């Protein structure tokens, strides 16, 4: 089982982001109350899960590198006391490469964080300004160097398919990042999410994103450059230098395992008495704190129908290289002999070994379309 901790505060809200985030206004009293609520919510969820083996703890957001390291340590120790930690328990935290946050890396490592996921996003100052980031390329390079010394494991995020980006420039950017030696790289294609500042800019004609052909070329470049450098594309947007470098926490999600979600807006999935439960925490910070104080828990739960659970399993399972078994998605009525499965295999979008389905590289490029076809 994994634990996801959502810390919603950000120094700046990025124009492409549609996550549950708020501007950090330095309200230390509110942040302390939120940390208290997260610890209490974890304790309440232990009543729901019963004894479990704890595989991973992931601090996401938001910007959890803004969290007081003492509170990070408190949450880690609480989770380890509530569930039996695996010998290879993975503790990850997302961070931005600003100078202020980089100066906290040693304290975060001392708090128990062993894997840092660094939001580099670009090594180009012009691109970083376009993306609304509050760091420059120099800060990113410094953060990578400091993180490599402070943490045993390092992952770096990049965003591609940016306005004005070329294949040549993207190749150079990937090559530079590879030279710094991270064991894990997460290249995310820029998507225009509804309600974001980028969505409004596109609607006004102020922002033009790459067309489908260029986006596909950038995707193919990503796969080729990272593969040549010895990275496995074990998930659509995640590449690791060997199995040991893979994000164990994210594999908990993608392989359909259970995880607890705490913090404002956090989601969780739990299997209890053969029933798949979806948990959703209150989105507002004050609402979440109040709910925990008044009811003991900060989340609501809903039982997924077999069809809903199978659709979710399909959507997540096809993202990873080991795919999804037909048994896991039985409620969808799919088999190796289903006509649409055979058609997608013949189109080189799926691989079927009679036991499980996997998306090919071409299939990963059109994954939403692929899963939509299979789920209907």
**Angle at CA 186, nearest 5°, toward 180 and 188?**
125
Enumerate residues 6+ apart whose C-beta is below 8 A from 116.
92, 93, 95, 105, 108, 147, 150, 151, 153, 154, 155
pTM score: 0.95
Alpha-carbon gap, residue 301 to 299, rounded angstroms: 7
Secondary structure letter of residue 179 according to DSSP: H
pLDDT in tens, the chain (376 residues): 999 999 999 999 999 999 999 999 889 999 999 999 999 999 999 999 999 999 999 999 999 999 999 999 999 999 999 999 999 999 999 999 998 899 999 999 999 999 999 999 999 999 999 999 999 999 999 999 999 999 999 999 999 999 999 999 999 999 999 999 999 999 999 999 999 999 999 999 999 999 999 999 999 999 999 999 999 999 999 999 999 999 999 999 999 999 999 999 999 999 998 899 999 999 999 999 999 999 999 999 999 999 999 999 999 999 999 999 999 999 999 999 999 999 999 999 999 999 999 999 999 999 999 999 999 8
Give the strand pairing for 356-359 and 324-325.
Answer: antiparallel
Query: Which domains are seen in the chain, by residue range?
Result: 2-252 (3.20.20.70), 314-376 (no CATH)
Is residue 53 a contact partner of residue 1, using CB atoms and an 8 Å limit? yes
Residue in this structure with the two tokens 């030279």, named with its chain if needed = 179
Full DSSP string of 169-209: HHHHHHHHHHHT--SEEEEEE----TTSHHHHHHHTTS---
Per DSSP, the three-state class of 202 is helix
Alpha-carbon gap, residue 125 to 135, rounded angstroms: 9
The continuous run of DSSP H or E covering 316 comes out as helix 306-317
Predicted confidence (pLDDT) per residue in 346-368, tens digit: 999 999 999 999 999 999 999 99
């Amino acid at each position: 089982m994994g634990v996801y901790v959502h810390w919603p505060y950000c120094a700046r809200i990025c124009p492409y982001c549609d996550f549950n985030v708020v501007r950090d206004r330095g309200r230390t009293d509110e942040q302390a109350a939120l940390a208290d609520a997260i610890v209490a919510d974890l304790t309440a969820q232990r009543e729901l899960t019963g004894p479990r083996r704890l595989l991973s703890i992931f601090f996401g957001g938001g910007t959890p590198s803004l969290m007081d390291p003492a509170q990070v340590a408190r949450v880690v120790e609480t989770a380890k006391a509530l569930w039996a930690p695996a010998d290879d328990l993975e503790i990850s935290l997302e961070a931005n490469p600003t100078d202020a946050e980089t100066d906290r890396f040693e304290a975060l490592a001392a708090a128990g964080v062993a894997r840092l996921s660094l939001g580099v996003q670009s090594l180009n100052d012009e691109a970083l300004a376009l993306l609304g980031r509050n760091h420059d390329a120099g800060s990113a390079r410094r953060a990578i160097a400091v993180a490599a010394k402070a943490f045993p494991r390092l992952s770096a995020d990049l965003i591609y398919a940016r306005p004005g980006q070329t294949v040549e420039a993207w190749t150079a950017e990937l090559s530079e990042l590879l030279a710094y030696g991270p064991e894990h790289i997460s290249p995310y294609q820029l998507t225009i999410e509804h309600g974001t500042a980028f969505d409004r800019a596109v609607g006004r004609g102020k922002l033009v994103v790459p067309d489908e052909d260029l986006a596909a070329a950038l995707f193919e470049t990503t796969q080729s450059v990272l593969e040549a450098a010895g990275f496995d594309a074990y998930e659509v947007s995640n590449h690791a230098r060997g199995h040991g470098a893979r994000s164990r926490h994210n594999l908990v999600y993608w392989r359909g395992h259970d995880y607890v979600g705490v913090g404002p807006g956090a989601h969780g999935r739990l299997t209890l008495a053969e029933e798949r439960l979806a948990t959703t925490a209150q989105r507002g910070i004050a609402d979440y704190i109040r709910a925990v104080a008044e009811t003991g828990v900060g989340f609501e739960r809903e039982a997924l129908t077999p069809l809903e659970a199978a659709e979710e399993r399909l959507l997540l399972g096809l993202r990873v290289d080991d795919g999804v078994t037909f048994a896991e998605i039985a409620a969808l009525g799919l088999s190796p002999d289903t006509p649409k499965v055979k058609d997608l295999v013949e189109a080189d979008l799926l691989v079927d070994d009679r036991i499980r389905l996997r998306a090919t590289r071409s299939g990963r490029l059109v994954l939403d379309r692929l899963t939509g076809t299979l789920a209907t």
